């Protein structure tokens, strides 16, 4: 961004620069030392201008981005439709990005994702969007870091659920297949996968597995993003029914064993 010095202190300009971390040059007719962003006119040396631009870009790229999770109300939260539409796009290679830059290049036909390895934090917010990928977009990613699209996308939403619409406490769902993301919460994800593969209610899973409601809900929305879970009616839920039957069977078995021991002891 090239900005005239007269407009540099404008609140909107400052907001764009600070929030989006955009490299900029401030145009001035007055030379001042120790300002790497200053561009003095008239310009008499094109090479010096190119060096200044490269220096500015390098300085920005070496500055870690401080990711700020969004503070959204329920009315501005997104649903999973954005991610579901990825699979319907005519262009097979898409650039996924947000206000902090490139997240990954996706191939929804081959089910691959190539993340931007220079990104500091693996999370996103409501500014996320996608466009057709261009040749230059592949310069920011490495094909050596190839990920399964569904597992990678699950992990992205798992790490940043706060901008998504969360399901109701009493909503009921059935999982299509068990996701396999590489995250530290794999044990919890396995437990939740086992429960929802039977068909389960959000609040029941939270209560029976002693897992927070928020964790159960973000499991649901992460699976919704990859079209891996469906809503079902309460009568199709099997998780609580199966657990009750197992518990009743175990209690019946214990009672039967008790009476068998009594019979043997007294010679019946």
Q: Quick one: tokens of 193?
A: 């996968």
The owner of tokens 């007294």 is 266
Q: Return the sign of the alpha-carbon dihedral for residues 83, 89, 92, 95.
A: negative
146-170 residue pLDDT tens: 999 999 999 999 998 888 889 999 9
pTM: 0.64
Q: Does residue 245 have a pLDDT over 60?
A: no
How far apart, in whole angstroms, are the C-alpha atoms of residue 118 and residue 59?
14
How far apart, in whole angstroms, are the C-alpha atoms of residue 229 and residue 232?
10
pLDDT at res. 84: 87
- Answer whether 79's CB lies under 8 Å from 165's CB: yes
Domain boundaries in the chain? 2-61, 81-161, 166-268
**196 half-sphere exposure, CB direction, 13 A CA radius:** 30
pLDDT confidence of 17, banded at 50, 70, 90? low
How far apart, in whole angstroms, are the C-alpha atoms of residue 142 and residue 104?
10
At CB < 8 A and 24+ separation, what contacts does 42-51 make? Answer: none
Q: What is the architecture, at CATH level 2, of domain 166-268?
A: Orthogonal Bundle (1.10)
58-73 residue pLDDT tens: 554 454 444 454 444 4
pLDDT confidence of 263, banded at 50, 70, 90? low
- Answer whether 134's CB lies under 8 Å from 119's CB: no
How far apart, in whole angstroms, are the C-alpha atoms of residue 108 and residue 95?
11
């Amino acid at each position: 961004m090239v900005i005239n010095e007269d407009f540099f202190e404008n609140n909107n300009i400052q907001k764009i620069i600070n929030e989006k971390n955009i490299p900029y040059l401030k145009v001035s007719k007055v030379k001042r030392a120790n300002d790497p962003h200053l561009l003095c006119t008239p310009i008499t040396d094109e090479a010096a201008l190119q060096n200044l631009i490269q220096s500015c870009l390098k300085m920005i790229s070496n500055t870690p981005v401080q990711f700020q999770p969004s503070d959204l109300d329920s009315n501005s939260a997104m649903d999973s439709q954005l991610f579901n539409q990825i699979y319907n796009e005519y262009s097979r290679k898409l650039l996924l990005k947000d206000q902090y830059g490139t997240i990954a290049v996706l191939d929804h036909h081959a089910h691959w994702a190539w993340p931007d390895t220079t990104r500091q934090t693996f999370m996103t917010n409501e500014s996320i969007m996608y466009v057709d990928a261009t040749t230059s977009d592949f310069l920011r990613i490495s094909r050596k870091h190839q990920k399964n699209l569904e597992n990678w996308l699950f992990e992205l939403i798992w790490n940043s659920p706060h901008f998504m619409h969360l399901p109701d406490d009493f909503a009921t769902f059935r999982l299509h297949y068990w996701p396999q993301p590489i995250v530290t919460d794999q044990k919890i994800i396995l437990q939740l996968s086992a429960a929802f593969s039977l068909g389960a209610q959000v609040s029941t899973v939270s209560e029976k597995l002693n897992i927070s409601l928020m964790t159960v809900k973000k499991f649901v929305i992460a699976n919704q993003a990859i079209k891996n879970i469906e809503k079902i009616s309460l009568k199709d839920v099997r998780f609580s029914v199966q657990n009750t039957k197992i518990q009743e069977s175990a209690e019946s078995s214990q009672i039967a064993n008790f009476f068998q021991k009594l019979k043997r002891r007294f010679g019946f």
